[in-house]
Amino acid sequence: MKFLHKALALAAFAITASALPKQSNAQTMPVCPTSGTATQADMANYLEGCRGTPDRYVISIYEMGLCTANPIASGSYDPSSCVPTLISSGGQSVNLAGGASINLSSGPGGERPENGTYPYAYIHISNTFGLNGSYELCGGNACGDGGGGTWYSDGQDPDVAPGGDNADNTLAAGVDFVDVLTTFGPSNGPCTTTAYENVGGGRLDALLVDTDLTPSCTGAAKIIGSFSPSTPITIDDTVTGMDVGFTVTNNGMTISPANDGTIMSFLSGPFNPIFTILN
């Protein structure tokens, strides 16, 4: 019996190009001050980066489901304990911009998991992310060395930070850009295919893989994410469906300040899952 036929689809979570920060594979970034409230001096306290809300956040989802064990615990992918609840061979593109929670309660493929307790959910996504970012300093007024106003993504690769996009405070609007993940470590460091981060409601683990789902940096094509919610998901006869949405509010974009507190670059960040059991 098709799981989606029972109106039960898993639209889980994502681990993105800097969702699990490049500086460390076990680090939780702080949330940035609300856009428009921070000064350059404030932002100079966030030189390792902080989380904000993107104006555009597009990902492609290929597969997702529930598991009784962590499918990437060993550093490679083992789906033997998992049930796919959604399969899209060509990738299902979704835009999570503006902090919206999007519910994917229908979609291609997938099965209904057997009754039981599932401590993990998993997802396959592309290692490319379509973004657009902005962040306002000093309430739009001049501050410091002319660093005030709104900083926008300019569509150009950053001069210093690995990956992401340069920021510019002379533009009238942000420019769309693509952030591509090829390692969870520094771009000039050794290949790092695994990472994790604690987020709202649980823990995210990530594995960077090639088209054969084998761990790889040079051939990176997808990310496999595993989410362990604080409360395991229980499926029983009373469950008629499960809505799982996600949000990028204060989380889906990494903002990287320069040493003087101006905005240097924008990168991608994670989004959080929201599970709702339907009875």
Handedness of CA 86, 218, 271, 60 (dihedral sign): negative
* Total domains in the fold of the chain: 1
Question: Which tokens go with 41?
Answer: 């001096």
Residue 71 is predicted with a pLDDT of: 97
- And the tokens for 9? 């689809």
Among 43, 71, 3, smallest CA distance to 235 is for 3
The answer to whether the beta carbons of residues 225 and 213 sit under 8 Å apart is no
Which pLDDT value is given to residue 9? 34
Please report where in the chains the tokens 């049930």 appear, as a residue: 83
H/E element holding 205? strand 202-209
Task: List the alpha helices (DSSP H) in the chain.
Answer: 40-43
| 109 burial level (CB within 10 Å; 0-12, 13-18, 19+) | middle
Q: What is the pLDDT along the chain (279 residues), one digit of tens a residue?
A: 233 322 233 333 433 333 443 333 334 689 999 999 999 999 999 998 999 999 998 888 888 889 999 999 999 999 999 998 888 888 888 887 765 555 554 455 677 788 999 999 898 989 988 999 999 998 766 676 667 789 999 987 655 545 567 889 899 999 998 888 888 877 677 899 998 877 667 788 899 999 999 999 999 999 998 988 888 888 888 877 666 667 788 888 899 999 989 999 898 877 666 666 667
Q: Domain residues for 135?
A: 4-278
The predicted structure's pLDDT at residue 20: 41
Q: How far is CA 181 from the centre of its chain?
A: 11
User: Which has the closest alpha carbon to 114: 87, 80, 82?
Assistant: 82
